[in-house]
Amino acid sequence: MNLFRTALILAKKDLYSELKTKQILTTQIIFAGLVIVVFSFAFDPANNTTKAVIPGVIWVIIVFAGILGLNRSFISEQRNETMQGLLVAPMEAASIYLGKFLANFAMMLVVELVSIPFLFLLFDFKFLGSVPYFILVVFLGSFGFIAIGTFLAALAANSKSSEMLLPLLLFPITTPILIGVVQATKIILTNVEKLSSAIAWIQLVTAYDVIFFVVCFLLIDYVLEV
């Protein structure tokens, strides 16, 4: 299990450097807060119909905040000219991918942990659905989004304008996840009786997660070539 050990070391390195600078995480959380504020202008929180858009808003926050972190994860390596160092280090490309994925995923979860309760609080949303299923959906959705996002961030990092390129690559590819999780979240938050169709969506998202995690794992060797 050398692959996982090196991946963990890399993830630890990323998270340590994040703890030191707190650059990405603060930006992501503040950005998530700003998105919530903007949504409060767009959809009147006092209005009852606003409850219907909450599932969508959750995922817009996750996607936008996530893309900030994804952009940074490979560019920071290039700014410090440590990408070559990583590539010549005695570990596989898949290990670099896995390490970066774990670091991004951990940060994403922290952002969600802060911003989603904050959203419910500000929009005065009474949580009636099932909490374990909600957590499962958020977890699976972010997993897939970050998995494919880390991969495409590695791909886009080769370009000089990678900040602009990444969203264009990422959004069309992640449409199935976004449709699946928004539908599942909507069902779980607003009418729990239809749980079986939410589970069908969860299965779709899980299948997507598995397929793309494997595909990314196989193809990352070609992306991270010297």
Partner 1 sequence: MSMNLEREKAMLPGTPLTSMKSASLSKILFAGTVISMLVSLYFIFIFAAEESTMHAAQKIFYFHVSSAWLAFMAFFVTFVFSILFLIKRKRIFDTYAYVSAEIGVVFTIIVLTTGPIWARSAWNTWWVWEPRLITTLILFFIYIAYIMIRQMDGVWDKKARLSAVFGIIGFADVPIVFFAIRWWQTKFHPIVFGDGPSQQGGGIESSMLVALLVTIAAFTILYAYLLQKGVSFEKMKFKVEQYKEKLREELEK
Please state the closest distance from residue 164 (CB atom) to partner 1, in A: 9
Of 28 and 73, which has the nearer Cβ to partner 1? 73
Please state the closest distance from residue 1 (CB atom) to partner 1, in A: 26
Please state the closest distance from residue 104 (CB atom) to partner 1, in A: 18
Of 110 and 219, which has the nearer Cβ to partner 1? 219
Please state the closest distance from residue 193 (CB atom) to partner 1, in A: 19
Number of Cβ within a 10 Å radius of residue 187: 24
Collect contacts of 207-215 with beta carbons under 8 A, ≥24 apart: 208/144, 208/176, 208/177, 208/180, 209/140, 209/143, 209/144, 209/147, 209/177, 212/144, 212/147, 212/148, 212/151, 213/144, 213/147
* Binding footprint of partner 1 on the chain (CB under 8 A): 148, 151-152, 155, 158-160, 165, 168-169, 171-173, 175-176, 179-180, 183, 200-201, 204, 207-208, 211-212, 215-216, 219, 222-223, 225
For residues 188 and 198, what is the distance between their CA atoms, to the nearest angstrom? 7
